[in-house]
Chains A and B, each alone.
Chain A
Amino acid sequence: MTDLLQLLFAGLSQGAVYALVAIGFVAIFTVSGVINLAQGEFAALAGLVAISAVGSGLPLLAAVVLAVLSVALVAVIMERLVIFPVKRMTTLVSLILTLGVSTGLKALMLLVYGPNAEGLTPLTPGSFSLGGVSIRYQELWILLIAGVVSLAVYWFYERTLAGKSLRACAEQPVAARLVGISLTKASLLSFLIAGTVGAIAGVLASPIYFTSWESGLTLGLKGFVAATLGGLISVRGAVLGGLLLGVLETLTAGYISTGLRDAVAFLLLIIVLVARPAGIFGRTAEARV
């Protein structure tokens, strides 16, 4: 029982990271239909920037803010340089473009920060025990901050004018343009959101899961799986999908084999896509067509 609780807790905190990455996928996909393969790199880059800033003597909080801001800037630059100039964005083109950015960012991180994986200093070091379950303070921070950020994003989409216009762009691009919403601005804003939540995921995860130049690959893939579980167009779905994936992964690692941990996401993706293709695909199709 304690084992199970331990695994569940670890899974939730891992899943909260996936959830944030997944929100990034959803933010961009709903507006422009682009699956941003560099989403995982946003997180990795934020982790590495924060680590190196702390290493050069900056206080932890300042380093975190610096990391989030610089990654948000990278995301915005990416949108302007790579997404904006393309007039006819097909799935194939968008995948190759964002893959190019992802690969370039990866190599840049390797050049600048070297090949080793490192962990950021935790916000609060140490751990405590609750009913036999060992809990790290950082894991609590992850859950807390991921929860606050998710709620903030949700509130943004549901309650603010800017958020509503983003949703309008996703559901009725032509009608949105007719009432004066700029699709280019919406696309830029969606990348800003994706970069910010991705970066937050990266700095939160780094103290526990470590960060290296290539850690964005699996993180990105799992974020996508989480987003897909939630239907790819829903923030709430992305959060639930992330938590579910995190828990299933730690349970697999705990009860079956650590090696199979990375296989879970992929199997889950196939099962969900095969079992509910109409449900998932149907909803996204209605928003796009």
Chain B
Amino acid sequence: MRRLKFGMAAAALLVAGSTLAACGDAGEEDGGGVDVSAEDDCDGKFDDGTRMAELAEDGSINVGVKYDQPGLGFKDAGSDIPTGFDVEIAKLLVADLCIDPEDTDAVNYEETISDNREPYLESGRVDIVLASYSITDERRQIVGQTGPYMVTGQQVLVPADSDVESIADLKGEEVCSAAGSTSLENVNKEGAVGVPAETYGQCAEDVVNGTVPAMSTDGSILLGLAAQYDGELKVVGEEFSEERIGVGYSKDLPEMCEWINGVLEESFENGDWEDAFNATLGGDDVEVPEPPTLDECQA
């Protein structure tokens, strides 16, 4: 019996290990989103000497996205281009530079994790970052951020049989979230005790096996995880924080701000933004939100 238990534990470990590595497949969409085609003529579109003109001239760009967040930026082993809402918005920006966003020779979708987004922008390793990048004052001191192109809020994910109805029921209790994320800070601010984990998959595993009573992060991510665990977990409560997801660029290149805002504004108006949302985060019973209001560019 003991040996059997150990064998089961080892198998469970393998399962946990693979969820950590793959972070689940939930939220994956068929077809890889919307078709975005590059603009044809960029001669004279941008002022000489701007970074946009240089990029359009070169015909290549480095874009920082996430690889491990289903629905926002997720790359599975088989595909060349990541999928998700962040990536769809990135494609709109790339296309505006007359670069084909589906051409991986021209566009390098570099993986950025929460820890390396600023260093990558500062060193010029990526030109723009769209990696569920919340706009904060601290970050704005070192890099440029504009947008937001999405405003989300944090909710709570609990086991299906839990009595917890919102974050208020979890004061003094442990709540899991990703290490170093703003979600974790918000959990602490609400009076719960943040438990850091490497990935959201790890958090979900802890909630399922009862190690922690709940986890919390952006509602869209939680819905993906709940779907993955098929009835074992449920998303509860009102959104209790506001994350403003924006585009990061280098502080040395302030001209990019107006360009990014221009492209975003256009996509809000012509429906590209809505299409991108429907293709990634949307679903049958998910309402498309109003496009957010963009921040002014600081001169």
Please say whether chains A and B are actual partners in one complex. Answer: no
* Residues of A in contact with B (beta carbons under 8 Å apart): none
* Residues of B in contact with A (beta carbons under 8 Å apart): none
